[in-house]
Each structure stands twice: as structure tokens, then as C-alpha cells.
Structure 1
């Protein structure tokens, strides 16, 4: 079994290794990547690391995923387009910078979602909240249901570009920001997630009531609180 080194984050290492294999043709266009279990066994990493690496590859346009089937290599575009260096995401300051981008992006998406959301889209947000609560109760990290909530909100904005940008920025940031914030603040995971869940509920309630300004305020407060927690972590590190 190959065990990955820890000189940099395991997710960055795995993302780079898979990218190199795709570039070398080891994983051909249209081919399915190894399963999560196969990667866990080969690289000696956790399921979360594998999922984050696949999310990075998907955000960079290297793979596409089919639920319950797996990840498949995509034809590579010659243009790299907009990218955030995944190697820098382990730095707390970089997380703050990306959170500022998300605040600008998602607060406007929340306004549009409050104006345009359909009953089905609202139900999808409520479903994500229920899944997150169940994950919290089981003692899990709830990353996937957190992502589902924000993705459902972006979709409810009725503008596909909000969803595309969220899929890129959000999937790179959410797991790292959560784990780093919990680690540096020494907050129990369930307590931290319960606070996040309450903030999500406020956003969803405003969208349900079709109150654009309340939705914007609740979303900005949610992400701004995350930003503040990370900034406090920076202050602790340099103190």
C-alpha cells in the first residue's frame, strides 16, 4: 500500500497525483477513476480526503461525477480559466479571502432565491437541513448536507452562473474552513455544527418568507461569522 507523505495536505497531494495520472493518460478521457475504497486502500487516506480531491478535480474541470456510479475523466479544455491554487487553501488567511468572495457571491444569490425560489427548491433546502441535523445527531461532520444546502440556495437564485461559481469555490473551501476553525478554536464539533445549523435555518426562513433583505442579511451574517472565527484563529496563531 502506498502511504502519502504529510509535508502538505493530503488532499493537495492526492489531487495532484490524480491530476498527473490524468495528464499522463493513465486515466484516459471517459475512463472511470478508481472507487473511493480503492483510493483509500492505495493511498492510505480517509474517505473525506478522497471526496475533497474528487471535488477539486471536478471544480477544475478534470472529472465529472455520476451519483452512485463514480468519477469520470473529462476532455481537458486548453484554457485554464479562473482558478484558486488549492495548495494555498491550507493557509487560514487564504480561507478568509475565499470566504470574502463567497459573501459577495452568495448574499446576492440569497436575494434572488427569496424572489424566485420554487416550492420544490425550498423543499430541497429543507431536506438538506434535515440531513444535516441527522448527521450532527450521528456525530458526523455533515459536510455533504452543508454543501447541499448552499448548492440548493444557489440553484434557487435562478441564474446558472451562481451555481457554477458556488460549485467551484464552495467545494474547495467548506471542509477545510470547518476543520481548521474547529481545530484552532477548540470548539466541540457538534457545538460548532449546531451553530451553523441555526444560521442555515435563519437563511432558509427568510427565503421561505420571500424576504430578500432578510435573506441577504442572514446569509452575510452566516459567512461573516465564519470569517470572524478564522480571523480570530489567525490572531491566536501570531500572538
Structure 2
């Protein structure tokens, strides 16, 4: 293997290694801060204590149950939000009437804090599963609507005119021209919606505090002054959110691979 080829093969590993520098420094700083007196250890829980809490929660099955509930809830809300956002954004992009009717209300509601709607939603939908999924779906709906609208508006009008000149059906126009042309923006919208969905899921579980979920586990840990359990919850949610984002990004790369050869 020549030096040039070896350098190219090691390039991805080097990029990943550089990405681990800051997390490693943060872990080292945390461990150093936790090595002080009792006050420091209360604020910065030693990593070995966090590890012990992780083992404790894993053995009891509590962590898997609550993480699984949050994952199902987030996935369901994300799916609904992405689907409705895709349809609503597409309607505004392709219909002048839909844009005139829907865009003013959409732009106004974008600036309303979602967490501020939780008390109102609790009056309408209670504090159960439906209310949590609804607020997660709203969090995913806004970025997906914007991505769908922008992506379809960016499709080159010449392609649409060419398809119409060949008398392509409406379904064929969407299947062969509009959706493929807007795919990069659509996947970008999904990738933007994932973190919003997870943030809102955890927040809604903390505020509603009903049923299984990481938020409920965090509430109990806060009441018991278990900072180690709180950190385990934060790390668990982070791992799930990063994993979901990585999966969506991988799917996007595979779906858009054809564009590299176009």
C-alpha cells in the first residue's frame, strides 16, 4: 500500500479521532472537578458513581423500560410531525390558494414557544400519551413544513415544464420530478426535526410526569437528590437521539447516492 493510499484510508479515522477530543477533555475536566471535597462531589458526581447508577438501573430494568417508552413516543410523534409537515409544506408550495390561507397562520404559530402550549394542551388533551405525542409531533411539524415548502419551490421549473410537455400525470410528476428534486431538503428537514422531537419529548415528560419515560425517571431522581441517575438519563437520551440522527443521515446518504452519478 502506497503512502498516499494509506493516508486516504486513515483520513476517516483521523476525523473521528479529532471529534472525540472535546468530549474527552470534558470528561477529564468533570472527573478532576469531582475529585475535590464533598461539595464538589455533590455538584460533579464522580464517574464511577455514575457507572454504578447505570448498572443499578440496567439490572432493575427501569432504564430500559423508560428509555423504550421515550423512544416509542418520540418515534411516533416524529413520524406524525414529519408526515403532516411534508403534506402541508407541499400543499403551500404547489397551491397559491393553500399558501395564502396557510402561510400567515403557520408563520405566526412558529414563534409561539411549544413548551408554552403544554398547559393549554393539557386542558384539551389531558396529560396522557396523546398529549405527549401531540407536542412532539408539533415540534417536528414546523421544521419539516419549512423544508418541504423550500425544497419543492427550489425544483427547477424547466423540469416541471418538460414533464408537462410529455403529458406526465400528476402522480408521475410528483414521483419522477418533484419528490426527487426536493429530497435533499426533505432529508434536511427530518434531520432538523429529530433533535427538536427529543428535546420536546423529554420536556413534556418532565412537565406532564405521567406514565413511563425518561422524564419521569429524572423527576424521581431529582426528588431523591440522585444526580448520578440524572446524568445516566441525560446520557441515555443523548445516545438515543444521536443514534436516531445517525440512522436518518445514513438513510439520506443512501437515498441521495443517485445524485452523485446524475
TM-score, scaled to structure 2 = 0.27
More helix by share: 2
Q: How high is the TM-score relative to the length of structure 1?
A: 0.30
